[in-house]
Structure 1
């Protein structure tokens, strides 16, 4: 008889009594290679993993035989489970416990599978001819059993991660719905405030004193700032839906022209971009949102009479690289690390005197994170900024 003691845990072991045996967590294919190795290393024709739940055996995975029912016989797995060690029979026909067993197998050796102090099953090898395991083969069988247990632990953690991910997605959908409803409920009366205030100001412009006119201007300006803030929140949370869009090839010249035309309606704006190049299998909607946010930011925070934005492109086998260079107001070096944080704003207003929302660049970073990209900024006050980012190629 083959025996090789395993390391005994400090906590007492017990047979698996859980409703779902941990072996059920893993697909059978995850163990195929392990069984092939077990058979080759132990020089046997058969290898198998048998799960045992509440004393009832079931086949998890088998290599080398169609005679599966025999492998479920308690003679094969029960002694191994009970003794918690590598255990085997060199010649079953000489063992009285196996004489009544109608089987072509003559030799077997098994090792218990113990996960989280629960005996979940047995890994064993078998053959039609008598045999034995040398010390190296016993060690190999023990190592392979630990690989099975590692796979179980990995799958368990993976399943837990999927549960957490599902809960986070549900929470996010609730938050998205909440933000959409609240934003809509704010925008509707806000539009009324803006229109009525502008109407009041226009119809009474000859009868209002200077202070009242200034107050109304402040009210209109604050209302527009709040509207921009609400729009930014909606864009940020809707960006998750953009990421679900199908990937497609994008011709750069056509793509950038459609975006530049939105901003070049003013004669004091010039946007240059690549005229050649094609992006393969990218999320066009996400890319458009990224560039619109960066260009809009570059133009808003630029107090110069003539505003310029220059977009450049390069590529490697693994990434697409872009730069968005402007001649705007610039960003202080100490603020480089925080401009991409949600709701973080700098102490400066745009060219129309409106404060920033701290949402536009946060949306850019969020989209790039999901696209496997990164973004950095180089800037000099009163000279301009250069936003550099990359995304992974498919």
Structure 2
């Protein structure tokens, strides 16, 4: 790693600002590394000196309470200007250097050893420093340890820097997503209001004039109503897809799976052609109940919509392993060919089939399910046979 002794202070200040070094105080990770430097070398003083604005800032330290000192009088400057991987000096070799630093320290030190902290571009940020009250030599293993610790400090700085940038990007994306969600909500509302009027007026027109219109005109009105309902379902689907992000922010809790499935099955009690079987007892710990409920609602709802059998059957199974909760939603519905197994979870992708009421799918429901499952640390797969039924299996990571 090359050291650039001609680096201007403005450039160094820019680097220090990028690494947010001025807010480094009271950071246990750096304090631990400085403690190791002091312990390994058996010295009373060790510190990380950051060079900024013609000063050396003592960001992590042991054995001293000093906060800063003038760069011109510092050991760190000598270490950086040496252009070497390390800089070692005794009082007898350069008493002037120790005399300049003496006013800042309570004790008279006789030995200094410093390792520059330099990033991958050769830019000096500061130095890992140790001081002793007696003249001495370091063992080879101590020199190697200080070099390793200095490199570790730089890696930690790089990690913190990248993490800060990641958090900034994450916050921007979150803000953009919130804006998009708000936009989707507003657009959905603005579309649904006139759409509801179209549906109501068309149905009223059809009902009041069913004896006056010929068959072709009535057919046109039926197409208009069906298309309006399809568009409404499509708008609702988009809104639910973006709202699923809010569901994922719900707090985890212990869940009684039987009660969830009992509540869903109760929604279909009015129909005599539906049979839903599910586990009688199953407890899940530390799970996002809202997300799991939404997943099951979508899969069960789809299984019933795309089923033209006289008796629509659904069986939900559950088992747990060390790391995951596993679920299966098995139906005797219409099914589909295996070549569509991967595409079925893509947003806006449909199989060009209508449900039992003649309505086309929006291609949003299963995309929402996949999004929720993946966000819960699991996976979802499907196996299906046309005319026989489908099996949607998914998992959720245990915590």
Task: Report the count of equivalent residues.
Answer: 387
Alpha-carbon shift at residue 33 of structure 1 (Å) = 2.6
- Alpha-carbon separation, structure 1, partners of 2:67 and 2:56: 10
Pick one of 134, 142, 158 that aligns with 1:137: 142
Q: 2:13 is matched with which residue?
A: 17
Cα contact 2:18–2:161 (8 A) shared by 1:
no
* TM-score normalized with structure 1 length: 0.92
Ranges of 4+ aligned residues in structure 1 off by more than 3 Å = 9-15, 24-27, 69-73, 90-94
- Alpha-carbon separation, structure 2, partners of 1:376 and 1:117: 50
Q: 1:253 is matched with which residue?
A: 258
Alpha-carbon shift at residue 140 of structure 1 (Å) = 2.4
Structure 1: tracts of 5 or more residues without a match: 1-6
Pick one of 362, 385, 389 that aligns with 1:380: 385
- Alpha-carbon separation, structure 2, partners of 1:271 and 1:167: 44
- Alpha-carbon separation, structure 1, partners of 2:68 and 2:177: 51
CA, structure 1 residues 45+296, in 2 after alignment: closer, same or farther (shift >3 Å)? same
Alpha-carbon shift at residue 60 of structure 1 (Å) = 0.9
The correspondence of residues 142-181 of structure 1 with structure 2, limited to 5 A, is: 142-181=147-186
Pick one of 113, 116, 121 that aligns with 2:117: 113
The correspondence of residues 12-51 of structure 1 with structure 2, limited to 5 A, is: 13-15=7-9, 16-18=12-14, 20=17, 22=19, 23-24=21-22, 28-51=27-50
Cα deviation per residue 1:171-217 (whole Å; 9 max; x = unaligned)? 11111111111111111111111111111111111111110011111
Alpha-carbon shift at residue 342 of structure 1 (Å) = 0.8
Cα contact 2:56–2:68 (8 A) shared by 1:
no
Alpha-carbon shift at residue 280 of structure 1 (Å) = 1.1
Cα deviation per residue 1:237-294 (whole Å; 9 max; x = unaligned)? 1111111222221112211111111123211011111111211121111111110000
Cα contact 1:14–1:118 (8 A) shared by 2:
no
1:345 aligns with 2:367: no
Q: 1:3 is matched with which residue?
A: none
The 3-state SS of whatever aligns with 1:258 is: helix
Alpha-carbon shift at residue 9 of structure 1 (Å) = 5.5
Alpha-carbon shift at residue 383 of structure 1 (Å) = 1.0
Q: 1:213 is matched with which residue?
A: 218
- Alpha-carbon separation, structure 2, partners of 1:151 and 1:36: 16
Cα contact 2:2–2:122 (8 A) shared by 1:
no
The 3-state SS of whatever aligns with 1:225 is: helix
Cα contact 1:47–1:126 (8 A) shared by 2:
yes
Cα contact 1:111–1:141 (8 A) shared by 2:
yes
Cα contact 2:241–2:364 (8 A) shared by 1:
yes
The 3-state SS of whatever aligns with 1:110 is: strand
1:266 aligns with 2:265: no
Cα contact 2:233–2:362 (8 A) shared by 1:
yes
Alpha-carbon shift at residue 155 of structure 1 (Å) = 1.0
Q: 1:79 is matched with which residue?
A: 78
Structure 2: tracts of 5 or more residues without a match: none
Root-mean-square deviation over aligned CA pairs: 2.2
Q: 1:96 is matched with which residue?
A: 96
- Alpha-carbon separation, structure 2, partners of 1:263 and 1:72: 78
* TM-score normalized with structure 2 length: 0.91
CA, structure 1 residues 70+9, in 2 after alignment: closer, same or farther (shift >3 Å)? closer
CA, structure 1 residues 11+318, in 2 after alignment: closer, same or farther (shift >3 Å)? farther
